[in-house]
């Protein structure tokens, strides 16, 4: 009997993306140009934001957003400022905080949503706290309404790492648009794929212009004649090579943007199918009380399906992973688990780390399996059978 293969990620491309790439190749224009501008405009429109900036990865999106926050006319944070982050996320949520000279302040998450716990944020705020970097994990919204209230009450800035949650909404508003800026990834395994790629959205024209400058060398070339950084002189030869900020080279490719335009057209159908798959997954998991799954806050875009072993299964994740793998089901940790457990923490500047019992539980007993843009009935019913075998085995121990 053929073993059902249930992968973590799959290609979302069709002939439309290949045709779009061929047109770019024929044009001879490969780096940031008209296709990037078109994709940025369409992306901003799709999430209900005024501006969008495309970069070469979601990691770079976090870097450029945080860096730009230092160079506004009224900076969001200064050297040594503390930025509150959830203890469960990906590495490049955290690294840019240190790379701009700020300190990480880790806060525990909620076991049901997997997202930052608003109650724990309050106790983490100090006179040096300047921002909350919220992460919408696995397609699911943080309690962004409460986070905005906290930010307003304590004079903090709210930013969103939405790299895993394109298409998710809360009270009808797109995730990634609740704070000053929001970041997205279009890496292969994400809701849309441009090979590598990332974006930042904002409603602030000044932040938009600062990010455009930082994206490409810190120059003014891509800015309007009159701008927030340094007005152009009208001498084109000089204006093309005027540097005003310590920037990077995070430019995306025209090939990536051309693919992104086609992927955006398909995104609503991708999200719709992911949500249909989630309904079946939720139904199946009602049979297995010793697994906790992620609860929705708002309307999730279901990046993947998390499982936390509890009850009689607690502490048996390694055995469970082997069982899944043997049955053709790929899995991985929930993002990076409790990130403070990674050895790299010794290289990161952070305030004293509090007890993080929920993040620890996710770190020891959590994992997730994939969700996709196509019907997963076969794979999910296979997962049901695999879970039955594993739970049956456990009940005999």
Average pLDDT, consecutive stretches of 10 residues, N- to C-terminus, the chain (397 residues): 87 97 96 97 98 98 98 97 98 98 98 98 98 98 98 98 98 98 96 97 98 98 97 95 97 98 98 98 98 97 98 97 98 98 98 98 98 98 98 66
Q: Are residues 255 and 272 in the same domain?
A: no
Q: Is residue 362 part of a domain?
A: yes
**Of the residues 261, 287, 312, the one at which a domain ends:** 261
From residue 54, alpha-carbon distances to 13, 195, 206 in Å are 20, 13, 16
Beta-carbon count within 10 A of 131 CB: 24
Tell me the C-alpha distance between 160 and 198, whole Å: 14
Contact 70, 245 (CB under 8 A): no
Tell me the C-alpha distance between 102 and 35, whole Å: 35
Tell me the C-alpha distance between 266 and 94, whole Å: 31
Q: Is residue 208 part of a domain?
A: yes
Q: Are residues 305 and 254 in the same domain?
A: no
Q: Are residues 209 and 62 in the same domain?
A: yes
Q: Are residues 390 and 351 in the same domain?
A: yes
CATH number for the domain harbouring residue 343: 3.90.1150.10
Tell me the C-alpha distance between 282 and 179, whole Å: 30
Give me the domain span that covers residue 356. Answer: 267-395
Q: Are residues 242 and 352 in the same domain?
A: no
Q: Is residue 308 part of a domain?
A: yes
Q: Are residues 203 and 313 in the same domain?
A: no
**Of the residues 216, 243, 261, the one at which a domain ends:** 261
Q: Any residues with CB less than 8 A from the CB of 159 and at least 6 apart, and which?
A: 65, 66, 69, 131, 132, 133, 134, 179, 180, 181, 182
Residue 1 has a pLDDT of 54
Residue 3 has a pLDDT of 79
Tell me the C-alpha distance between 147 and 156, whole Å: 10
Residue 354 has a pLDDT of 97
Q: Is residue 9 part of a domain?
A: no
Q: Are residues 193 and 249 in the same domain?
A: yes
Q: Are residues 171 and 287 in the same domain?
A: no
Q: Are residues 199 and 291 in the same domain?
A: no
Give the full edge-to-edge strand order of the sheet including 103-107.
Answer: 51-55, 198-202, 181-185, 157-161, 129-135, 82-86, 103-107
Q: Are residues 173 and 291 in the same domain?
A: no
Task: Provide the annotated active-site residues.
Answer: 190
Q: Are residues 375 and 243 in the same domain?
A: no
Q: Is residue 6 part of a domain?
A: no
Tell me the C-alpha distance between 233 and 236, whole Å: 8
Q: Is residue 3 part of a domain?
A: no
Provide the domain count of the chain. Answer: 2
Q: Got the DSSP string for 193-208?
A: --SS-EEEEES-HHHH
Tokens of 81: 């400022």
**Of the residues 229, 261, 293, the one at which a domain ends:** 261
Please provide residue 221's backbone torsions phi and psi, each rounded to the nearest 5 degrees. Answer: -55, -40
Tokens 């290949």, residue located: 18
Please provide residue 225's backbone torsions phi and psi, each rounded to the nearest 5 degrees. Answer: -55, -50
Task: Give pTM, 2 decimals.
Answer: 0.96
Q: Are residues 244 and 343 in the same domain?
A: no
Q: Is residue 1 part of a domain?
A: no
Compute, in degrees rounded to 10, the torsion defined by CA atoms 232, 236, 239, 240.
140
Q: Any residues with CB less than 8 A from the CB of 168 and at least 6 apart, and which?
A: 136, 139, 140, 141, 162, 174, 175, 298, 299, 300, 301
Q: Is residue 44 part of a domain?
A: yes
CATH number for the domain harbouring residue 23: 3.40.640.10
Nearest Cα residue to 184 out of 61, 56, 95, 299:
61
Beta-carbon count within 10 A of 48 CB: 14
């Amino acid at each position: 009997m053929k073993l059902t293969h249930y992968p973590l990620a799959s290609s979302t491309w069709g002939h439309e993306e290949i045709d779009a790439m061929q047109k770019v190749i024929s044009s001879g224009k490969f780096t940031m140009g008209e296709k990037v501008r078109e994709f940025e405009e369409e992306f901003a429109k799709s999430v209900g934001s005024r501006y969008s900036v495309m970069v070469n990865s979601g990691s770079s999106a976090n870097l450029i957003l945080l860096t730009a926050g230092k160079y506004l006319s009224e900076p969001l944070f200064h050297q040594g400022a503390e930025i509150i982050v959830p203890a469960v996320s990906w590495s490049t949520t955290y690294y840019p905080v240190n790379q701009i000279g700020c300190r990480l302040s880790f806060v525990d998450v909620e076991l049901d949503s997997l997202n930052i716990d608003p109650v724990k944020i309050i106790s983490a705020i100090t006179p040096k706290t300047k921002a909350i970097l919220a992460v919408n994990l696995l397609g699911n919204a943080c309690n962004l309404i409460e986070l905005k209230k906290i930010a307003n009450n304590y004079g903090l800035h709210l930013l969103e790492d939405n790299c895993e949650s394109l298409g998710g909404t809360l009270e009808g508003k797109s995730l990634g648009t609740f704070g000053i800026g929001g970041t997205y990834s279009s890496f292969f395994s994400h809701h849309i794929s441009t090979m590598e790629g990332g974006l930042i959205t904002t409603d602030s024209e000044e932040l938009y212009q600062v990010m455009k400058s930082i994206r490409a060398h810190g120059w003014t070339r891509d800015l309007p004649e009159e701008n927030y950084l340094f007005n152009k002189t009208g001498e084109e030869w000089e204006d093309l090579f005027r540097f005003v900020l310590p920037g990077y080279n995070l430019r995306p490719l025209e090939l990536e943007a051309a693919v992104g335009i086609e992927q955006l057209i398909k995104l609503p159908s991708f999200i719709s199918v992911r949500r249909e798959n989630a309904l079946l997954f939720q139904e199946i998991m009602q049979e297995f009380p010793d697994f906790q799954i992620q609860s929705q806050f708002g309307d999730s875009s279901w990046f993947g399906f998390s499982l936390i072993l509890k009850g009689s299964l607690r502490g048996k994740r390694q055995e469970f992973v082997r069982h899944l793998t043997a049955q053709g089901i790929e899995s991985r940790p929930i993002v990076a688990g409790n990130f403070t457990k990674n050895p790299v923490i010794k290289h990161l500047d952070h305030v004293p780390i509090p007890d993080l019992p929920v993040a620890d539980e996710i770190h020891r007993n959590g994992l997730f399996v994939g969700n996709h843009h196509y019907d997963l009935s076969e794979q999910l019913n296979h997962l049901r059978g695999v879970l039955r075998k594993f739970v049956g085995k456990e009940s005999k121990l």
